[in-house]
Structure 1
Amino acid sequence: MPLPIAVIYGAGPGTGAAIARALAPTHSLLLMSRSLPQSLGRLALDDIPQDRIYAHKYSGAASFAEGIKAAQERWPGAPVKVGVCHAGVPFSPGPFLSKTTEDFKECLDSAVQAWDFSQAILPALLASNGGTLIITGATMARRAGKNFAAMAAGTFARRALAQSLSKEFGPQGIHVAHVVIDGLINTERVEGMLGKAEPGCRLEPADIADVYLGIINQKPSAWTQEMDIRPAKEKW
């Protein structure tokens, strides 16, 4: 029996790659982002058998279904059991009156991408008799702070989408969860901008991935619909 397929959209060198590593022992991996497959080397996944990784470029709504179809052709008979929509909202805070309608629409597009991803992955999960869909969220999915007007609406919308899908597809065996990441993630990019931080001040990608793996392994009698995670020293 072939390994089940996990689809990760937003597979970058930080948390996306960590989620891929956490799932690699039990799944074949369809990785998607705007920069893949060219950026695959940056994910540092050399310890995973390369015949269990397929990288597909995100180029719009249709590319999700195209990627899933290509993965199923690569691994015949493998059921699609996990979908992770990790690509986030463009980080562009600023005073409301300095922002444009185009800034707002660019941030809203993150919710459209989550919609498109869900429309592609849910039929595959249903065909596999159940599975898990996780949508990554952020602090502003619950509360919109000063100077985050352009960004917060798209994040709120992703949370609402996850909540609605959970209620519709849970009875059909699909576990839909929304994870609020409340704090900075300790990636090379963040360290380059802000320097190193003491332990407990930033979320570690591998620890986030462990949380996602825990959600995926939950039993149907005790599913999480929403979870928030933060480093110990985060103010909240």
Structure 2
Amino acid sequence: MITGICYGIVASTKTRVRCVFCGVYIPKASKCIEEHINGAKHKENMELVYENGISYDSSRGLYCKLCATSFEGSIVQHLEMDDHANYIATLEDLTDGEYIHVDAFLAGQTDVAFCSTCQVTIPCTLHNIEAHVNEDFHIMETLKPLNGLFSVDNPLELWCKVCDVYIDNTTPGVLEHSEDDDHHVNWFKKMEPYTANNGISIGNYLTHEFENKVYCLRCKAEILCNTESIDYHIQTDAHMSAEPHHSEISDLQIPPD
């Protein structure tokens, strides 16, 4: 018989069990329990549990680690409360585009977030995450793979692949070059129509120092990274007749390896 907290199924009476995540009672028969846990409603509620820091134990009952409180009744009703909704919204804002992973934290598997850019764990509170994303090292490590910036023998410098110039290996140097250098900014402006509307991915080009090609998601083809070659490719019959790829949005934010 399938029971256990991982499914939300706990004993109730001699003839029934209870699903604490769905708030229903089920006849104490393997077939009935299996039908419930395989049902769409239960699976939907389990997704909410894993995505929102909800757990259950016999001492606390239903517990939300984000709100640090036990609660009764519907999971959905709790998730709609202002405190919980605001926490989730703030967490999403802080982690969006920052390569900070909180899925394991929300699923109750750990108490830390993981930054894949800096390769560090962070005690998972809003304050700690906000402090981390504002650190100079994180800002630099996040911007480097998005802008084609690479370390060189001289630790005081970085090489910009896009512009073929050396810049200061400091947060102000990286920010000034990536946001204010005309050549750098214009290169990305020239690439935007290709990445946004034509399925051209520039992620590998930016993140790999010796890569000289971009990739067409529609045609599954590599193209030399220059506007002449890309223009020629997107005007071919094969490209124009190919189905748009589901990822045809700007891919400038590419996770680091």
TM-score normalised by the chain length of structure 2: 0.19
TM-score normalised by the chain length of structure 1: 0.20
Q: Is the helix fraction higher in 1 or 2?
A: 1
Q: Which structure is higher in RCO with an 8 Å CA cutoff and minimum separation 6?
A: 1
